[in-house]
Amino acid sequence: MTATAIRIQESPLDPAAALLDHTLPAGEPYLLAIEQGQTLRIVDVEGNQAVDVIFYNRDDPAEHYSASETLLRQGGIYLTTGSVLYSDDGNPMLRIVADTCGRHDTLGGACAAESNTVRYALQKKFMHSCRDNYLTALQHADIGLGKRDLVPNINFFMNVPVTESGQLTFADGVSAPGKYVELRAEMNLWMLVSNCPQLNNPCNAYNPTPARFLLWDAPSQ
Amino acid sequence: MEHAELALNNPPATEPLDAPEHWRKFAPDLDVDNVLFSELIPGGGHWSYLLSRGVSLRLTALDAGANLALVLYSAREKLERYNQPDSLKAQHTAHYTRGHVLMSDMGRALASLTADSLGWHDPLGLLLDNRLLHEKFGDHPYQSFRNGMYRSGRDGLLIEIGKYGLSKRDLVAPVNFFSKVTVDDEGRFHFVPNHAQAGDYVDLRLDMDVLVAFSAAPHPLDPNPVYAPGKVGLAAWRSGPAPKDDFCRCFRPENARALHNSDMLYLA
């Protein structure tokens, strides 16, 4: 099994050669089609921003990223260079090929109006949330995905350690301005993103900031 | 499971209901007037129930090392279902014991752990699928092994939720009752062997009308090279919904709010 200790790996890819370079403002949703073989880079532009992401197989959207399969196969909870993201059917969806942050969360999930009422106060229900972002993107795209498909997501750049005594803790970010993670797609994908708008806890250092997405085609053989 | 156990004769026509009071053996402290039914779940077996708010389940490990992977959906609106990340982060926990609440994605308490002899049930959501089942234990199909065939937890849960129109897209990360998995500083899993002993139990009170589905297949990290899932006893009884001074309600403010959100479904 792969240990999930921090593994820093820089990328040789040149942003000037990227076919897509998109900056997503704080608190916005994003849905992107990614082709098998393409490489995706997500940049934590200003540091300590949680980028909440779910991947789906674009050829069969019923197949989605599965935290259960991914964690079971690597034997641990954190994602970093070398981690393979598996689907619920056990197929590799993406592979992390570079990572200058070193640790990404798989357990913290995405914030929702409803979970904000539980975690903070009943009166927080009207604040913007990641799951509102997810639903907005899916309702507009009308691609057959809906609330049932909002499975446990990846929080890129977020640090949520589990202690030996079984506590879930929210530690200070290991990320910083300009840190990035790079993933190579192993199948045709939908990437569903919420650039987290949470203001009730320090996951964004109380200041949600932009995230940048770059995409490169597979190198020609 | 021995074949003989399932080779039952039909009951005589004068006593057509073969529903033995199993609970008297593994949960004799329950109040006879409030017990609703009980069941013996064979290792690897799976089942599901639609249950009302105010019903409680006693789950008892009948063999050491038993595991029960369990998922919950709102019976009223099955789009609402158990949400592992929401439950864990609301309670800042990576294990479940008495006081913890299993929350839905809609911020409501689906069920609460009102009693627990073990102190740790695994909420990390891992599930034995067919690939790992065959890698670890080989091929043990029905044709050769009849009802002693090896069953995966994932297929068991897919069968159960499929009975209610739910598909693999809807299968959520389960709670693995009776199992313990710790996480070290580098994030690696460590399965704790010999955690549950025969007789260990947990009480689960249903705080909404729910669909409960479960599989007693082994935990996927259980290092036992032999497929030997333990039996689990299940007894249901009328406990009533959570009172004002309920232990789980008072356990954390988050749990009070999740139970409040469930109460809001039952205003009349």
User: Which of B90, B92, B258 minimises the CB distance to A167?
Assistant: B92
Tokens (6 digits) for B130: 């067919």
- Residue B39: per-residue pLDDT: 96
With a cut of 60, say whether residue A2 has pLDDT above it.
no
CA diameter of chain A: 57
Q: Is the pLDDT of residue B9 over 80?
A: no
**Domain annotation covers residue B21:** no
Q: What is the pLDDT of residue B3?
A: 47
Tens digits of residue pLDDT in B193-220: 999 999 999 999 999 999 999 999 999 9
Domain count, chain B: 1
Gap from B109 CA to chain A (nearest CA, Å): 10
pLDDT at residue number B8: 62
**How many angstroms separate the CA atoms of B150 and B226, rounded?**
11
H or E stretch at B66 = none
Over 50: is that where the pLDDT of B80 sits? yes
Cβ <8 Å between A168 and B169: no
State how far the Cα of B208 lies from the Cα of B51, in Å rounded to an integer.
Answer: 8
- CB-facing half-sphere around the CA of B138: CA atoms within 13 A: 6
Structure tokens that stand for B65 in this block: 């090392």
Q: Is B79 in contact with A108 (Cβ distance < 8 A)?
A: no
The answer to whether B134 faces chain A, any CB pair under 8 Å, is no
All residues at 6 or more sequence positions from A4 whose CB lies less than 8 Å from its CB, including other chains: A74, A75, A76, A77, A78, A79, A80, A83, B186, B187, B188
Domain spans of chain A?
A: 26-216
Q: Please give the pLDDT value at position A174.
A: 85
Mean pLDDT value of segment B147-161: 95
Q: Which residue in A56, A107, A118 has the most chain B C-beta atoms within 10 A of its own C-beta, making it the best mutation to test that interface?
A: A118
Give me the residues paired with residue A51 across strands: A156, A195
Backbone phi, psi, residue A112, to 5°: -140, 155
Q: Give B238-250 pLDDT, tens digit per residue.
A: 999 999 999 999 9
Residue B1 has pLDDT above 50, yes or no: no
pLDDT score recorded for residue A122: 93
Torsion of the alpha carbons at B138, B167, A150 and A178, rounded to the nearest 10: 30
pLDDT for residue A4: 66
Reported pTM: 0.92
Chain A residue numbers touching B107 (CB-CB < 8 A) = 112-118
| Beta strand spans in chain B (E) | 35-41, 46-51, 55-61, 68-74, 101-103, 109-116, 175-177, 181-183, 189-191, 201-206, 210-215, 232-238
pLDDT tens digit sequence for A78-137: 999 999 999 999 999 999 999 999 999 999 999 999 999 999 999 998 899 999 999 999
Looking up tokens 């598996």 gives A86
Domain annotation covers residue B56:
yes
Residue B181 structural domain: 33-263
Does the beta carbon of B85 lie under 8 angstroms from any beta carbon of chain A? yes
Q: What is the DSSP secondary structure assignment for residue B57, as one 8-state letter?
A: E
Q: Tokens for A64?
A: 């989605």
Q: Which tens digits make up the pLDDT trace of A35-89?
A: 999 999 999 999 999 999 999 999 999 999 999 999 999 999 999 999 999 999 9
